[in-house]
Amino acid sequence: MANFEMPVTEYMTSPVETIRIGQSLVAANALFSEQGVSALGVVDDAGELKGVVSRTDILRAAVYTQGETFRVPDRPVEEIMKSPALHVSPEAPLAEAARLMLKKHVHRIFVTSTGKPEGVVSTRDLMRAVREKRLKTPISEIASGSVVKVRADESVALAVDRLELSNKHGLVVVEEDFPVGIFDQACALDARRLPPDTAVENAMNVRILILPARMGIGRAAEQAIAMSVRRVLIEDDRGVTGIVGGLDFARVMG
């Protein structure tokens, strides 16, 4: 495998999207949509990183009400944030950040200096590093886990439950066993005010990427970045047989 000992500063995203202690989960969810991120650093008045709140945290805190799939509770972010937030120094190698993501099963690591966030390295940033290395290893060799599916005509409420029970960030939406979309955490939050029996096809993301099992990891990362997708479906002569997500790209760097 290629060497990924370059410093995290070469691939981190900066500035970091943050939210202050005392602000609400409703405000955090609005920032997820506005900024296109899946997690926020939680900072105090001095700008020091105290925790992290993610879409996963908000979905777990959801309140179920009649007539809607669920509601985001109006609670302070510090009540459900993960603390302390995982972080590395600016001098840390990218491979170290990737190993920490895998060990803790998280999709981003903050880069801090004197307690304040200078940047964040996400699995999407890891994809960029893999793309630039042009790795030829087939994507089938890094795929992990099984593909969790939901039918296009099944309900949003069922899909939200399946997301949580499967501990997945996204479900493959199928129609007659052919993939037609993805229902992920962003879709779930966008669909929260819909009636629970709304069909998944009315809330899914139709942007999907299906590649042959023999496709190289570097090329797959390039395609995923170009299409702004976070996961790649793997296809062979038996149909869709696997899925590669962000943490699978982190595994390449271990």
- Span 28-72, pLDDT tens digits: 999 999 998 999 999 999 999 999 999 999 999 999 888 899 999
Angle (CA) 106 108 111, round 5°: 130
Tokens of 228: 């702004």
Position 115 pLDDT exceeds 60: yes
CATH superfamily ID and name for 139-252:
CBS-domain (3.10.580.10)
What does DSSP say about strands 232-236 and 210-212: parallel, antiparallel, or unpaired? Answer: parallel
pLDDT of residue 145: 60
Angle at 67 between CA 61 and CA 73, to 5 degrees: 25
Q: Do the domains 8-133 and 139-252 sit in the same CATH topology, yes or no?
A: yes
- Averaged pLDDT, 179-208: 96
Here the tokens at position 236 are 């062979």
- Give residue-wise pLDDT tens across range 144-157: 767 899 999 999 99
The strand ranges marked E within the chain are 18-20, 39-43, 49-54, 87-88, 108-113, 116-122, 149-151, 170-175, 178-184, 210-212, 232-236, 239-244
Q: What is the mean pLDDT of the chain?
A: 93
C-alpha torsion 9→35→104→81, nearest 10 = 120
Say what the pTM is: 0.89
Contacts 24+ apart (CB under 8 A), 56-61: 56/169, 56/185, 57/81, 57/82, 58/25, 58/28, 58/29, 58/32, 58/189, 59/160, 59/163, 59/164, 59/185, 59/188, 59/189, 60/164, 61/25
Q: Where are the domains of the chain?
A: 8-133, 139-252
> Could you tell me which CATH number the domain at 8-133 has?
3.10.580.10
